[in-house]
C-alpha cells in the first residue's frame, strides 16, 4: 500500500466513549418511548402461558438495565476496537448478542421479566458502529503491515554465533 491509499490510524478512547454513549442512549430512548412494548408483552405472555409467574420487571430504563447495557456496549466496543480481524470481531459481536438474549431466561428463573429489546438494540448498534470504524481505520492492534519494522537488524551469514554449545549443564560433551 502506498501512503495515499493507507487507512488512517484508528484510536480507542474517543470512539469507545462516543459509540458507547450513543448506543446506551439509543437503547434507553427506544424503551422510554415504548417502541418495543408490543414485543416485550408478547415475550412476557410466552412466559405466562408456560406457567411461570413473574413478580417484577427489569431492563431499560431502570438502573440494572442501564448498568448491564453500559457494560455490554462499552465492553463490546472496546473488544472490537482492540481485536484484529473481521472474523474475530464478528465472533465477539455475535457472542455479546447471544449473551444479551440469554438474560431473559436467567432473570425469569429469579422471577423477573427482563425486557431484552432495548439492550439488544444497543448491542447491535455498538457492534455495527465499532466494526465500521475498525474497518475504515488501521487499528493499533493490527500491527504493521508491509515491510519489516525499521528497528530490526537482520544478521548476515557469518555474523551470528557459529560455535556449537553443549546442551549439558557442566559444559562437557
Chain segment 128-140, per-residue pLDDT in tens: 999 999 999 988 8
Report the mean per-residue pLDDT for the chain. 86
Q: Domain of residue 116: give its range.
A: 13-142
Asked if residue 105 is part of any domain, the answer here is: yes
pLDDT at residue 3 greater than cutoff 60 = no
Q: Is residue 22 part of a domain?
A: yes
Examine residue 152 and state whether it is found in any structural domain, yes or no.
Answer: no
Residue 30 lies in a domain: yes
Question: Has residue 15 got a pLDDT over 90?
Answer: yes
The answer to the question of residue 165 being in a domain is: no
Report the number of distinct structural domains present in the chain: 1
Residues 59-105: tens digit of each pLDDT:
989 999 999 999 999 999 999 999 999 999 999 999 999 999 999 99
27 in any annotated domain: yes
Q: Is 138 part of a structural domain of the chain? A: yes
Please indicate, yes or no, if residue 8 is contained in any of the structural domains. no
Q: Is the dihedral of CA 96, 102, 107, 109 positive or negative?
A: negative
Q: If we measure between CA atoms, which residue out of 87, 97, 81, 88 comes closest to residue 133?
A: 81
pTM for this prediction: 0.78
Amino acid at each position: 500500500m502506498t501512503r495515499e491509499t493507507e487507512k488512517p490510524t484508528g484510536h480507542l478512547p474517543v470512539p469507545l466513549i462516543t459509540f458507547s454513549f450513543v448506543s446506551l442512549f439509543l437503547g434507553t430512548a427506544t424503551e422510554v418511548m415504548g417502541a418495543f412494548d408490543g414485543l416485550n408483552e408478547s415475550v412476557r405472555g410466552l412466559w405466562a402461558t408456560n406457567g411461570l409467574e413473574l413478580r417484577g420487571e427489569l431492563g431499560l430504563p431502570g438502573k440494572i438495565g442501564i448498568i448491564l447495557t453500559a457494560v455490554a456496549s462499552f465492553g463490546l466496543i472496546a473488544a472490537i476496537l482492540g481485536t484484529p480481524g473481521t472474523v474475530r470481531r464478528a465472533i465477539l459481536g455475535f457472542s455479546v448478542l447471544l449473551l444479551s438474549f440469554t438474560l431473559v431466561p436467567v432473570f425469569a428463573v429469579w422471577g423477573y421479566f427482563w425486557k431484552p429489546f432495548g439492550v439488544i438494540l444497543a448491542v447491535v448498534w455498538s457492534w455495527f458502529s465499532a466494526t465500521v470504524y475498525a474497518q475504515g481505520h488501521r487499528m493499533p492492534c493490527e500491527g504493521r503491515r508491509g515491510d519489516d519494522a525499521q528497528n530490526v537488524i537482520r544478521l548476515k551469514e557469518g555474523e551470528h554465533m557459529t560455535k556449537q554449545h553443549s546442551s549439558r549443564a557442566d559444559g562437557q560433551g
